[in-house]
Homo-oligomer: A and B are copies of this chain.
Amino acid sequence: MQDKLMLMIPGPTPVPERVLLAMARHPIGHRSGEFSKILEEVMAGLKWLHQTQNEICILCASGTGAMEAGIINFLSPGDKVLVGNNGKFGDRWAKLSRAFGLDVEEITAEWGKALNPEEFREKLEADKEKKIKAVIVTHSETSTGVLNDLETINKHVKAHGEALIIVDAVTSLGAVNVPVDEWGLDVVASGSQKGYMIPPGLGFVAVSEKAWKAYEKATLPKFYLDLGAYRKANAKNSTPFTPPVNLIFALKEALAMMKEEGLENIFARHKRLTQLTREGVKALGLPLFARDEDAALAITAVIPDRHDAETIRATMRKKFDIALAGGQDHLKGKIFRIGHLGFVSERDIHTVLAALRETLAELSS
């Protein structure tokens, strides 16, 4: 059977029909009054979602572009940064920081384990000369399904006083509580194809007043990703460059849906989906890659035990038209990942678990 795909990967995530149809509207001029009104409404929705009064910049970029903007706008060549690295994305931010000539010190953990906040505390407390300009943390590590303890790491950053906290919230925002103002998160980057429930193409960066002060002194070169230009345009409900107009239509509709559900309900749903997935996988006799207490609420990584992960994925796809994600880099073939982020219901999890049970039975027979 064709075209009955069920997308259970950590991004792109499933998109509601309401959002797809909003996106299919004919574009309008991005300098029109009508579009300004939409931007104004969308901006209010983004602040609600981020639980912040901070400026939020909307970029035409992937999550990586948003993270790049979140890093290069606030730092200068040679600046020391602490980068948490316990998966593909933490590793990417270390590479990106080095590409821009930053002095990177990594705090690592084995893939599948959470970063230890104590290691951040030690490094930050030892930095008497306040050389550390930023701490870069991946909140939800998509490659392993691990949620890092951002709240505790951030407390140590606050105790340091000087360093900015720069957060990859790409697969946490809209799934897990990320109270930007309450925690005082300086830079929070996210992407549209995740908890937002819209297709890829938009990146978001929320920026605190402290970060804007750092921006004034930061000398890394930038133009397309110069967030100062976005801030200036925001003040006029505009954008510095042509925005992806149709994705903004989609964003408006998705934010409306999120408001209808309510933030607390969204977080509770993701928690329930995660528990259901983990219990169901355990009941099928497959080990989980991350410990219960480190589990990301967006994705569950599963060790296929006696089977090959890619064979399980191929069978799930071929027989049931369910797309799961594979392992990345050295985990390819060793884990598979079930996405339960964004527009996903309990029914979807039961469906995936039922199909997985059938798949395992078939592969074992």
Name 7 interchain pairs, CB-CB below 8 A, sorted by A: A20-B25, A21-B24, A27-B199, A29-B323, A63-B242, A95-B223, A244-B244
Task: Identify which of residues 94-140 in chain A touch chain B, using a CB-to-CB cut-off of 8 Å.
Answer: 95-96, 99-101
Which of B14, B63, B101, B246 touches A221 (beta carbons < 8 Å)?
A: B101
| Residue A84 interfacial (CB < 8 Å) | no
Residue among B27, B224, B243 making CB contact with A7, cutoff 8 Å: B27
Contact of A28 among B5, B31, B220, B246 (CB under 8 A): B5
Instruction: Judge whether A145 is part of the interface by a CB distance below 8 angstroms.
Output: no
Whether, in the assembled complex, A226 has its beta carbon less than 8 Å from a beta carbon of chain B, the answer is: yes
Closest to A27 in B: B12
**Is residue A60 contacting chain B, with contact meaning CB distance below 8 A?**
yes
Q: Map CB proximity to B onto A297-323 as digits: 1 under 8 Å, 0 otherwise.
A: 000000000000000000000000001
- Complex interface residues of chain A between 1 and 55 (CB less than 8 A to chain B): 5, 7, 9, 11-12, 14-15, 20-21, 23-32
- The answer to whether B7 touches A246 (Cβ under 8 A) is no
How far does the Cβ of A68 sit from chain B's closest Cβ, in whole Å?
4
- Interface: A152 (CB within 8 A): no
Contact of A245 among B21, B26, B95, B200 (CB under 8 A): B200
**Cα(A266)–Cα(B323), bound, Å:** 39
Q: Is the interface of A mostly helix, strand, loop or mixed?
A: loop
CB-CB under 8 A for A200 and B23, given A191-B242, A221-B99, A223-B99 = no
A276-298 interface bits toward B, Cβ cutoff 8 Å, 1 = contact, 0 = none: 00000000000000000000000
Q: In the bound complex, do residue A242 and residue B200 qualify as a contact, i.e. CB atoms below 8 Å apart?
A: yes
A193 contacts chain B at the CB level, 8 A cutoff: yes
Residues of B within 8 A of A325 (CB): 29, 31
Indicate if A65 sits at the interface (CB-CB under 8 A): yes
A335 CB to nearest chain B CB (Å): 15
Confirm or deny: A64 has a beta carbon within 8 angstroms of a beta carbon on chain B. yes
Set of chain B residues within 8 Å of A100, measured between Cβ atoms:
221, 223
B12 near A65 with CB under 8 A, answer no
Closest B residue to A77 using CB positions: B221
User: Bound complex: CA of A23 vs CA of B200, how far in Å?
Assistant: 12
Are B224 and A68 in contact, with the CB atoms below 8 A? yes
